[in-house]
Structure 1
Amino acid sequence: MYYMNWNNLYTIVLLCSLLLVSCTNEEYAEKREQVEEGLPATVSLSLNAVQMDKIQTRSGEALANDGKVFDLMIFLIKGDAAECVYFKNGLGNESASTNITFSVESTNDVQLYALANVEGGSYRLDKEDGSFSVEELKAINTKSALMDITATLNGELISYMDGYVLMSGYLASSGTDNDASVISITPGKNVITDKKIYLRRVSSAVTFSIKAGENVTFTPKTWQIKNVPYTTNLFEKENDATGQYFDMEQAEPVPNSKKFTFYMSENRKSSSAQSLKYDDRPGFAPTGSSYLVLTGEYDGPASYNSSGEVASAKVHANVTYYIYLGYIDKNVNNFETKRNKKYEYNITVTDVNKIIQEVVEEDYYNYQTGDGDVYYTDGSGQQIESLDSHNCSFDIVVDRNDLKEGIEYGFSVKTPKTGYQWQDDKTKENGSSIDIDWVRFVKKSKLEDNVAYPGDDATNKLTVKEFVDDIKSAINNENSDFFDESGKAYFRVFVLEYYYGDDDWKEGINGQNREMKIIMNTQTGHGSSVTDAKYYFSQKPIQSIYDVDKVDAAWGIEWVNESKRLPYYTTITDNDICNFNKPSQAGPRDQYDGRANMIQELGTMVGQKGGWENDDISKYAYAACMSRNRDENGDGDINENEIKWYLPASNQYNDIWMGTEGIDQEAWLYPYSKIKYEKVHFASNTWNRNIFWSEEGASISGFGNKNRVPDGMVEIRCARNLGKTYGKITSGPESEIPDLINSRENKNYRLIEVINLNKKSFRNKQVRNELGKHFEDEENNKLYKAFLVQKKAVDANRFLVEVNKKADNNESPCDTKNGWRLPNQREYTMFADRYDISGTYITRTLYSFGLLSNGPGSKSYNANGYMYNGGHMGLSGPNGTDYPANIRCVRDIDQSEYSRFGF
């Protein structure tokens, strides 16, 4: 096999930092003289969590609790005998160090070993028939039994939800000591000042930062870590624990910051191969070595053309890179990830030469480091079109002078119907059809001529096969009138929406781009291709927040707002108040059915002649989504069954926020996440002209002053129903699209089961304590698969900042011993939008651009965190705007617990 070299694709810089806290030498000296044993004694000492740098987790989760000790267990070891002499939970320590005192009997030649955060939910401590409870741990009576314990993840976890980071350690003179100190405990008080219990995390944090080289545009798309160990030793040993590995189930989107972090247990692999170069690492990686799969889109220079000749050229490439962890101190044989470390990999993408060489130069490499499809973009007459998922159209020019001798007059497509593999009429199986009907060509006399879509059944539109055949015939016929006097022919290209009909609606949803290349020269091999094409079209799939495998109908959205920012109806007429030039039937109130609202609002204007793209009405936000629809029967009207794309209702925007991690990051409503603060407000078609504030995630307001709608201009994001397009619009649609949730209630609780949301938007671990400190765009603000909401508030007249600071130390107004906690922003929005819009309630979620954040764009807005207030989610600020509010608690729940709460 032939694969690309990494050297020109990125540079890795690895930083392993281990910060140690030194001990203070005071009066206490190591007491090794023999003492009378068995007399009452107390021991006072300090413990210290050996620190890593504060970092951001995979979705930006702030490590506010990293290094905190919430529960602590200490064993006194004498020979092989062990005794638990101290256990305390609910510590919630604010600092990295803490002083503790416990009672024992005087004794000689002993060691002190410790465990911390054993009650956390990320790891279980293994025993033969299950896992240790706290009481079973306290009963361990030999050192060997304690040292042999392994810890296994409770699921495929790469982050901490509750901040409980499992740690182990021992009393020592410094954090670098390889073994516990041996001491004697005298009768009476023992104050140890020259030693501490140093705790180390059983896992490490691995951070990747991605950037592009000079003259290169690289957009990282997804990342996925593979070969992550499930099991690790509780205490560090010479060899790793024996166990299985897992791969992340789904690739995660790379954040806008192009930086992400994950946690993993130690995985110390090394290769014994001799004379390895860095390029050889993938081929000689030991079994079970952890590696990252990074995908992205590359635009920039290449040093070879599609024939393998040395030549400057520009390319567009969809690429996949495989990056093995390790390479510490530039040791090519090193594949290690150790415990209690922070690793930082800085990846620079400089070119795609090696992708090209893997195709062109045979026998160049014999291992896999990446694949991709590369398109040369700077040739004469070449045209590349990147299209959204709705109906699109554009012009192309066919120039006879660009059609060189020897060119291949063909085409190829890659769609969900072809299994996302390239297929053309030469490679398709006998009797099978090729998926080409989504692109249609209409010939024009002049480039400036305006040509409307002639209808699905019109005879004057060409398939791509007919288009190519006509060009080839004209080239071979000197008397053809196909080209004008200048040797050019003009076409309007119509690309249909990325939708295969109501019966096959799931085809391609949230999938890959569907692509077409026409009149080309292509070389392929080993999962990659290199193409010179005259025309290359790539259309993005409809994005849906639903788990489409679970539902018979859903709705989805386009990727970007091609209409740009628009006025809602008219412009602002004074400093604060916006006037509306409403259609005659305006005033729709449905918060979840944008299509019904738009039909009601447009009223008799639905059947507009001449196309919505050119009508003045489409220049306003409430009607602009009509331009995404098409006159499918060619009668000149957008009528009845042809209204498919529409402006969402207000709570549809909120639901996009609930499931945003399941759609491609390029389609997220707020495009500057983790980069900068900016007002990006979206128009809905719900009564009172509700505006969605995407920079806050789930905040909605009425259309009013300039603060709500800067310059009176708003964004839109058009939506489409999937599986159900409905019939006569005049009779009004009856929604058959399922909600994201099922819900039941009894006297005390509301049960919410999040059954139809995409898997990526779930928090995959049940939390039994207060959520760790977090912001709206982080892992802890995701939904669990089911949760309970208490109907009755547990407290009133509390302030957001005060409540959240206490929650940072697991001091909660909720009953955390039984799993109750403060709700995050998404949980309370999901509940309140549907069932209780009254009152003012505090959440656990802080604002990433607010006063309590230190990330990019922090302190850009005078606010602290999220509160639900009288019908919508919003922000609580300082001073007078941090007003007293109620507290309603929530709890993650599994089906096995339903009966306990009356369900």
Structure 2
Amino acid sequence: MKKCIYLLCVLSFVLTACQEDKFGSKENSGSAALKLKFNTSSNLSRAVSSDEEEQRIQNVYVFIFNQDGTRVFGQFYNGINANGTHQIEIKNIPAGSGKIIAVVANINLDIFDMTTATLDAITAYPDLLALTSRMQDKFIERGAQFLMSGTTAADLTANTTNPVNVSLKRVDVKIRFNVTTAEGVTFTPLDWQVVTVPRVVSVLPTEVQGLFEFGGNYFDSSWNNFEISMTGANTFAFYIPENKVDVRKAIPATGTYAEQYALREKQEKTPNNDGTVTNGAYEYADERATFVKFKGNIFYTIGSGKEVSADVTYTVHLGAVNGVNDYNSLRNHFYTYNVKIVSVDDIIVEVESGEEAQEPSPGSEGDVVFAKKVLEFDAHNEVFKTVFHQSDIDQSLTWNISTPFSKGAEDENPKDYEWICFRINTKSRTTYSGDFTRFKGDNGVYTDAELTIPGYSHPLDKYMADINSGNDKMLNIKQLVSVLKECKRRYLANNGAVSGTLFDSADEIVFTTFLRDFYYEVNPENTSETVENGLWKKFVNTEKRVLNILSNLQYSADRVSTKTTALYSIRQASIQTMYNKEAAENFTAWGTEAIQDEDRYRFETTTTRDNRTYDDKDNGRANTINMWMANSGSEKWDTYIDYTTWEMKPAYNAAKYRCMRLNRDMNGDGQIDENEVQWYLASINQLTDLWIGENSFDPQARLYKRSTWEEDLQWYASSTVLEKNSSRVGGIISGYYVYRDNPDILWSSEGSSVGLLTGAGAIDDAIVYYRCVRNLGVPKNAAKEVRPDDFAIYDETTRTITLTRLDAKSIRGFKTTEELADHNERDVRGYNKPWKAFKINPTTHGNALSWQTIMARSQPGATNPVCPKGWRVPNQRELALMYSRMPRNSTSWPLTDHFAKSSFSFNPTGGNRIGFSVKNEGGVFYLLHNKSDEVGGVRCVQDVD
């Protein structure tokens, strides 16, 4: 998986020239009257701070030095909160020529460790020149916290006011990547990472390169998802401190510019005894040079009709504005990297050559598959059909896999291949039926010993005997390929006769193929069957697992890129979760399917006389089991699902039951057992949590993916049914009651608004979406009452919600002690995310105020803020976390309304759907419908460590 960073071929790469001064350029300041001017151009990128935030001067520390560098003045000015321009008047400064005016802005904040005390200790200009500041965490977002500095020389004339301008520049670099494709090529992004981010920066500009030792002065960011784009653009952006670094070795000025540019990602190669090579350090780039890695899948078809699918990783070293030997990222600059993906030809060249020298695009790595058919599936159990024509089978072909645990071809003995099995279809006269066959149970797969018993010359003979007697089992992939090859050998030996083979009159063999859900109870690479605590962290939110059938496999010399030609490439998405799989703590979790059903259904199609209970707000599995298993566990799979198509029968083709088909009859007895209910309908709080953590999911797994607000398409029904509508049938005396479920639903277009289905319309007329989820790390035979650990821990004593179990992608990228900037619920800058932990103020504030008034009083620098100093109005996700974790009573929610800072993204100009609120006693979390009719207050919050 490597990247080509040039203008032609595989991945064409265009680097938009660094837009000098677009990140701030013209400022003014003075001595007797010191004027600071801070201007920036329009912000050209999303997912980073706004113009206003980049320009904000919250405070400044002003120095004046004599020509010899001695300090004559230093003072801190706080509470400025100016947007781009500020003026300060300073008196009683000794006159003279060659004075040095220096300003450091935005100190005592949370991103960098620069404080007033540090600057008070500066006694001479050389000390300030040598001063550095360190980031307090691994931040690549900034909010409104931009450390800035600037200097100028001035002659101060006595007895007059001397105007002096100081140009302030941010110490940060702003970077955006835009990924596009050639016509006919589809790129599905996964995630991206910034590698070797400097953690330390010089406060004033310096010409010195490679200023900091490698060691602990650099970090790698976590992997982040691409932005949620309403236009379908594949883009992301971030900030890093200035990084000035020299080359390790200069790239020779030979060949084309594209060839020279490709060498920026070239690595040293160490030959191995087996003819392969091992990648080492970058040959030309210094180890301190910052680079970006991003992943995704490339798909297109070629002239022969074959489908090309490639899982790719691209590496791009930053810089190259001033030639291929430039690895600098300069402060106060904005760089745009436009990457165009044309094909994966360069990866193929590298693999097919098998030689170290044949690596035309060193920054491109990939697993490239050419297949007659690429089949994409979700993380749950699935059933489909595979057809093998005699012309597809060759004795040289085999199979290969790529999973979180194993990678390689059959002769490399990968262990993780038992997640797919095959059962032959029945024959209708001389051709195979298109109907699926039944799953035989998890233990219904042949062992190798069962197919190689004495009396049969080949496993095919034993298999055919079992088929004829109706005692056939299912084949694993190793057995399948062996059987297919033997069928083809006999076919050729018999001059095309199908007798003694499995081929039908069309020269085909048809199998029902059973794909297991992307879940592991034990590590398949371990010989022990011992359950490994936290094993789920190794296979969630990963790249798809892939099985290529009837294939050949080739490796690049460094073994990091491959090329496969196959009949079928079966690809299964991983379970998506918002839980933090990087956490050292061992805990259980839950996750969601990756590709939602885009059809809508009535919640139920029939009434019931049985007033069952499934009202848990958190435990969707218990709700679902109670919902499906009304007759004490005597239900049959055939009652609900037609096994010949594996679709719901019409009477049960409703949201209430749709998750059933994601499961499987694991013991093959036809009866639905509790431990066979692994995929279940999410509870109402689980639906809310899918919104809380949606930034941790692949874009296709998110609940709402539209670019406009469609009120009648937004309802997700949960398994939480707190109310049932009832009616009497058959008269007053002899009649009985029938019930209709009235489940809690989530308005996905609003993020986390919840209410009853009847709030969205009549029960019989409303059609809804559904979402199936699965427990992680919970034993499959666990009782239904066992629920996964929560990713949000609420301490009622300290009123603190801690989110160390929440994935970093769903955590705000910066901590703040200030009010959040104006934003909406779909903000891409991080303002509608929680910090790692936040505390809830014990009392309410701003009581009896409208939402608009509270917004006006929660602006930076507001003279009459709603929340006490150091506290702020919660964003929508924080309010949703409070709503789902705090008790729903008058103590927690005493006001008529409790507002969030977030506005509604789809509110039209002048519209009345303005923001979000929780009603008194936690009655409902909803979208405000009027501008000023609702009055309430705020449960203020505070970021804490």
| TM-score normalised per structure 1 | 0.84
**Native 8 Å contact 2:34 2:90 kept in 1:** no
Moved more, 467-476 or 268-277: 268-277
SS of the equivalent of 2:899 reads: strand
* One of 550, 558, 568 as aligned partner of 2:603: 568
Mapped partners of 1:392, 1:452: distance in 2: 13
Closer, same or farther in 2 for the Cα pair 1:669/1:364, shift >3 Å? same
Mapped partners of 1:761, 1:813: distance in 2: 32
SS of the equivalent of 1:408 reads: coil
* One of 471, 474, 479 as aligned partner of 2:487: 474
* One of 829, 833, 851 as aligned partner of 2:884: 833
> Which residue of the partner structure matches residue 164 of structure 1?
145
1:878 is displaced (CA, Å) by 5.6
Moved over 4 A (4+): 1-6, 19-24, 55-58, 60-63, 311-314, 675-679, 705-711, 725-729, 812-818, 859-862
**Native 8 Å contact 1:585 1:600 kept in 2:** no
Closer, same or farther in 2 for the Cα pair 1:757/1:878, shift >3 Å? same
Is residue 2:331 matched to residue 1:274?
no
Counterpart residue identity of residue 60, structure 2: L
1:275 is displaced (CA, Å) by 0.4
Aligned ranges 1:868-879 → 2 under 5 Å: 868-870=918-920, 871=922, 872-876=924-928, 879=931
**Native 8 Å contact 1:57 1:63 kept in 2:** no
**Native 8 Å contact 1:795 1:888 kept in 2:** no
1:860 is displaced (CA, Å) by 11
1:88-138 deviation line (CA, Å, top 9, x unaligned): 212222x3212322332451222322111012211123xxxxxxx414423
1:567 is displaced (CA, Å) by 1.8
Structure 2 runs not aligned, ≥5 long: 255-259, 267-283, 445-471, 523-530, 642-646, 722-741
Structure 1 vs Structure 2 CA RMSD: 3.1
Closer, same or farther in 2 for the Cα pair 1:249/1:809, shift >3 Å? closer
Is residue 2:385 matched to residue 1:395?
yes
Counterpart residue identity of residue 399, structure 1: H
Counterpart residue identity of residue 751, structure 1: T
**Native 8 Å contact 1:641 1:725 kept in 2:** no
1:29-53 deviation line (CA, Å, top 9, x unaligned): x9xxxxxxxxxxx833431114143
Mapped partners of 1:890, 1:225: distance in 2: 31
* Overall identity of the aligned pairs, in %: 25
> Which residue of the partner structure matches residue 824 of structure 2?
775
Mapped partners of 2:404, 2:100: distance in 1: 63
May I ask how many residue pairs the two structures share in their alignment? Answer: 813
> Which residue of the partner structure matches residue 866 of structure 1?
916
> Which residue of the partner structure matches residue 548 of structure 2?
517
1:367 is displaced (CA, Å) by 7.2
> Which residue of the partner structure matches residue 631 of structure 1?
665
Counterpart residue identity of residue 498, structure 1: F
Is residue 2:212 matched to residue 1:242?
yes
Is residue 2:427 matched to residue 1:427?
no
1:321 is displaced (CA, Å) by 0.9
| TM-score normalised per structure 2 | 0.80
1:735 is displaced (CA, Å) by 2.5
Is residue 2:228 matched to residue 1:256?
yes
Closer, same or farther in 2 for the Cα pair 1:61/1:849, shift >3 Å? farther
Closer, same or farther in 2 for the Cα pair 1:286/1:367, shift >3 Å? farther
Mapped partners of 2:841, 2:799: distance in 1: 7
> Which residue of the partner structure matches residue 939 of structure 2?
888
1:842-892 deviation line (CA, Å, top 9, x unaligned): 2222333346xxxxxxx69753333223433333356345x2221221112
Aligned ranges 1:499-898 → 2 under 5 Å: 499-501=519-521, 503-504=531-532, 506=536, 507-525=538-556, 526=558, 527-548=560-581, 550-562=585-597, 564-570=599-605, 581=607, 584-586=610-612, 588-604=614-630, 607-610=635-638, 612=641, 613-672=647-706, 675-678=707-710, 679-687=713-721, 688-704=742-758, 712-724=766-778, 733-746=784-797, 749-763=798-812, 765-777=814-826, 778=828, 779-811=830-862, 819-837=870-888, 838=893, 839=895, 840-850=897-907, 862-870=912-920, 871=922, 872-876=924-928, 879-880=931-932, 883-894=934-945
1:798 is displaced (CA, Å) by 2.4
> Which residue of the partner structure matches residue 855 of structure 1?
none
> Which residue of the partner structure matches residue 99 of structure 1?
87
Mapped partners of 1:814, 1:440: distance in 2: 66
Counterpart residue identity of residue 51, structure 1: T
* One of 310, 313, 317 as aligned partner of 1:317: 310
Closer, same or farther in 2 for the Cα pair 1:182/1:63, shift >3 Å? closer
SS of the equivalent of 1:103 reads: coil
Mapped partners of 2:108, 2:41: distance in 1: 22
Mapped partners of 1:738, 1:355: distance in 2: 43
**Native 8 Å contact 1:691 1:708 kept in 2:** no
SS of the equivalent of 2:55 reads: coil
Closer, same or farther in 2 for the Cα pair 1:520/1:823, shift >3 Å? same
Mapped partners of 1:616, 1:583: distance in 2: 20
Mapped partners of 2:298, 2:720: distance in 1: 40
1:254 is displaced (CA, Å) by 1.2
**Native 8 Å contact 1:812 1:821 kept in 2:** no
Is residue 2:440 matched to residue 1:454?
yes
SS of the equivalent of 2:238 reads: strand
Structure 1 runs not aligned, ≥5 long: 31-41, 126-132, 171-179, 304-310, 571-579, 852-858, 895-903
Counterpart residue identity of residue 167, structure 1: M
**Native 8 Å contact 2:541 2:575 kept in 1:** yes
* One of 9, 28, 35 as aligned partner of 1:46: 35
Mapped partners of 1:537, 1:22: distance in 2: 57
SS of the equivalent of 1:436 reads: coil
**Native 8 Å contact 1:84 1:139 kept in 2:** no
Mapped partners of 1:326, 1:785: distance in 2: 33
**Native 8 Å contact 1:124 1:154 kept in 2:** yes
> Which residue of the partner structure matches residue 326 of structure 1?
319
Moved more, 756-765 or 825-834: 756-765
Mapped partners of 1:249, 1:783: distance in 2: 18
**Native 8 Å contact 1:681 1:708 kept in 2:** no
> Which residue of the partner structure matches residue 187 of structure 2?
218
Counterpart residue identity of residue 863, structure 1: R
> Which residue of the partner structure matches residue 368 of structure 1?
362
SS of the equivalent of 2:880 reads: helix
1:628 is displaced (CA, Å) by 1.0
> Which residue of the partner structure matches residue 738 of structure 2?
none
Mapped partners of 1:13, 1:821: distance in 2: 40
Is residue 2:118 matched to residue 1:149?
no
Counterpart residue identity of residue 242, structure 2: E
Moved more, 104-113 or 352-361: 104-113
Closer, same or farther in 2 for the Cα pair 1:635/1:860, shift >3 Å? farther
1:827 is displaced (CA, Å) by 1.9
Mapped partners of 1:721, 1:246: distance in 2: 37
* One of 383, 405, 408 as aligned partner of 1:417: 405
**Native 8 Å contact 1:296 1:319 kept in 2:** yes
1:705 is displaced (CA, Å) by 5.4
Closer, same or farther in 2 for the Cα pair 1:54/1:709, shift >3 Å? farther
1:540 is displaced (CA, Å) by 1.6
1:645 is displaced (CA, Å) by 1.3
Is residue 2:374 matched to residue 1:384?
yes
1:2 is displaced (CA, Å) by 9.9
**Native 8 Å contact 1:803 1:812 kept in 2:** no
**Native 8 Å contact 2:5 2:12 kept in 1:** no
Mapped partners of 1:261, 1:89: distance in 2: 30
1:791 is displaced (CA, Å) by 2.2
1:239 is displaced (CA, Å) by 1.6
Mapped partners of 1:652, 1:545: distance in 2: 11
1:174-225 deviation line (CA, Å, top 9, x unaligned): xxxxxx23121433x6262xx4222111112101111111111111211111
Closer, same or farther in 2 for the Cα pair 1:62/1:865, shift >3 Å? farther
SS of the equivalent of 2:672 reads: coil
Mapped partners of 1:186, 1:513: distance in 2: 73
Closer, same or farther in 2 for the Cα pair 1:201/1:641, shift >3 Å? same
